[in-house]
Amino acid sequence: MKDYLRKSLFEALWKALKGKPNFIQVITGPRQVGKTTFAFQVLKKWKGPKIYKTADQPDIPSIEWISNHWQRARALTTLKGPEVLLVLDEVQKIPHWSETVKKLFDEDKILKRRLRLVLLGSSALLMQRGLTESLAGRFEIHRHNHWSFSECKEYFSLSLKEYLYFGGYPGALPLRKNQARWARYIRDSLIETVLSKDVILMMPVTKPALLRQVFGLAVTHPAQVISYQKMLGQLQDAGNTTTIASYIKLLSNAYLMVALERWSGSKIRQRGSIPKLLIRDNALISAMASKKFGEVKRNKPLWGRMLENAVGARLYAILQEKGANLFYWRQRQEEIDYVVQIGDRLIALEVKSGITKQAEAPLIAFARRYKKTKLIVISPVENLREKRKDIEYITIEQFFKEPNKSIGL
């Protein structure tokens, strides 16, 4: 099977590697979205000497692992010859990796060695911690998120409904015809690996059973607002709200989920808000549930939550790239699924799998409170007899085909 090239991501990295100045290129993103395959595509095109090594091993390599491979790369450099490309995968697993990278990178810069560096990592927390603590001003980040609907449709011929159920993990999608096997792969090769290996590397987990329960609770309440106190009441293991909040943050840094804050216009009030649980890819929800594709499609409330979650996950990924923020809004009986904040711009979005008219009232209430907000309804309804001029209506397919363009980002 021919590798799929994520063209926009490839072009961005290639331009950075071949241009000036020479920064460390950092690729971050969830497990199993093709980061390593992507790195090999870059290596294949690279005309000069190249080295690829991964720290994703049963025993975590020592800090000398970085120095040894770096010295090998240095030995291939010449004064006027082609630049050398060094790619280090899952480097964040090595304790104190960033200090060594800083020392070696700065030495090369002083001596003008013709060496380019790419680092890959699947832990947002460990990568960001190392970059900000030691490598400030020396790197560029390339965020590789779960595959979009357009990518999955182009390469796997996925329908939109299939995408909403099976999600955007490319390694699992060839198994989707055998749903039991597909779900087992997601649970064993992805979820279990992240929970048992990646999360524990970030910081000590004193209650691993509680961590799993928190994740299990989240995938059964996708795109739902639920207080920490209510979560505590539904969990079997003893804990407190502070522990639950910290575990949700860990799961977020492992690209499994995120807790959205309530938009209030005040940062202080937002920080103490009840969270809305968002799962980063619908495959995680489907694989942990006992319902098959056909059952989920027929279950209208569940299908509506799957749709809302998929829209939120895609929005969150896009807004990370733009340095923007995603919230939800609730005021008494009114609630809006998502509020996008880009600088001083606000976009309020309601997601509906059925009757679109039900989405209008909360949007209008929000607009009264926050003037000049762009109002959008995302639904399967293309043609309404009566459309409000102050609300933009887009179809679900329009959103997933071109999410940036469809909502004016």
- Tens digits of residue pLDDT in 82-116: 999 999 999 988 988 999 999 999 999 999 999 99
Q: Are residues 160 and 265 in the same domain?
A: yes
| Selected residue with higher pLDDT from 267 and 81 | 81
Considering the chain, what is the average pLDDT of its residues? 90
Q: Are 164 and 306 in contact (CB under 8 A)?
A: yes
What is the pLDDT, as a whole number, of residue 229?
87
Determine, yes or no, domain membership for 2.
Answer: no
Nearest to 62 by CA among 86, 90, 101, 95: 95
* Average pLDDT for 116-129: 83
User: 385 pLDDT exceeds 60?
Assistant: no
Q: Which of 108, 126, 143 is the last residue of a domain?
A: 143
What is the pLDDT, as a whole number, of residue 357?
66
Determine, yes or no, domain membership for 106.
Answer: yes
Q: Tell the residue number behind the tokens 């961590």, with chain if given.
A: 211
Per-residue confidence band for 3, with pLDDT thresholds at 50, 70 and 90: confident
What is the pLDDT, as a whole number, of residue 130?
79
CA angle 396, 279, 363 (to 5 degrees): 50
Determine, yes or no, domain membership for 73.
Answer: yes
Per-residue confidence band for 389, with pLDDT thresholds at 50, 70 and 90: confident
Determine, yes or no, domain membership for 178.
Answer: yes
pLDDT more than 70, % of the chain: 94
Residues in the chain, overall count: 409
- Strand order from edge to edge, sheet including 50-54: 50-54, 84-89, 115-121, 24-28, 139-143
Mapping DSSP onto H, E and C, the string for 157-208 reads CCCHHHHHHHCCCCCCHHHCCCHHHHHHHHHHHHHHHHHHHHHHHHCCCCCH
| Joined tokens for residue 346 | 């606000």
What is the pLDDT, as a whole number, of residue 265?
78
Q: Are residues 299 and 351 in the same domain?
A: yes
CA angle 328, 331, 332 (to 5 degrees): 135
Question: Strand pairing of 276-279 and 224-225?
Answer: antiparallel
Q: Which of 108, 143, 178 is the last residue of a domain?
A: 143
What is the pLDDT, as a whole number, of residue 272?
61
| Cα distance between residue 171 and residue 268, in whole Å | 41
| Cα distance between residue 99 and residue 181, in whole Å | 42
| Selected residue with higher pLDDT from 191 and 389 | 191
Per-residue confidence band for 9, with pLDDT thresholds at 50, 70 and 90: very high
- Strand order from edge to edge, sheet including 224-225: 224-225, 276-279, 257-260
Determine, yes or no, domain membership for 51.
Answer: yes
Q: Are residues 229 and 284 in the same domain?
A: yes
Q: Are residues 135 and 180 in the same domain?
A: no
Q: Are residues 138 and 165 in the same domain?
A: no
Per-residue confidence band for 267, with pLDDT thresholds at 50, 70 and 90: low
Q: Of the given ranges (65-79, 110-124, 274-288, 376-390), which has the lowest mean pLDDT? A: 376-390
The answer to whether the bond into 61 is cis (omega within 30° of 0) is: no
Q: Is 259 helix (H, G, I), strand (E, B) or coil?
A: strand
Query: 24 has which bridge partners?
Result: 139
Determine, yes or no, domain membership for 356.
Answer: yes
Domain hosting 35: range is: 7-143
Which tens digits make up the pLDDT trace of 303-332?
999 999 999 999 999 998 888 999 999 988
Determine, yes or no, domain membership for 103.
Answer: yes
| Cα distance between residue 386 and residue 157, in whole Å | 35
Which tens digits make up the pLDDT trace of 324-355?
999 999 988 889 999 999 988 999 999 988 76
Per-residue confidence band for 396, with pLDDT thresholds at 50, 70 and 90: very high
Q: Are residues 254 and 137 in the same domain?
A: no
At 143, phi and psi to the nearest 5?
-90, 120
Determine, yes or no, domain membership for 1.
Answer: no
| Total-model pTM | 0.91
Q: Are residues 55 and 197 in the same domain?
A: no
CA 201 to chain centre: 19
* Average pLDDT for 37-64: 94
Q: Are residues 161 and 223 in the same domain?
A: yes
Q: Are residues 118 and 231 in the same domain?
A: no
Q: Are residues 81 and 216 in the same domain?
A: no
CATH number, domain containing residue 38: 3.40.50.300
Q: Which of 143, 177, 203 is the last residue of a domain?
A: 143
Q: Are residues 164 and 115 in the same domain?
A: no
Q: Of the given ranges (167-176, 192-201, 380-389, 394-403), which has the lowest mean pLDDT? A: 380-389
User: 269 pLDDT exceeds 60?
Assistant: no
Q: Are residues 95 and 184 in the same domain?
A: no
How many domains would you assign to the chain?
Answer: 2
* Average pLDDT for 113-131: 85
| Residue 20, burial from CB neighbour count under 10 angstroms (0-12, 13-18, 19+) | exposed
What is the pLDDT, as a whole number, of residue 129?
78
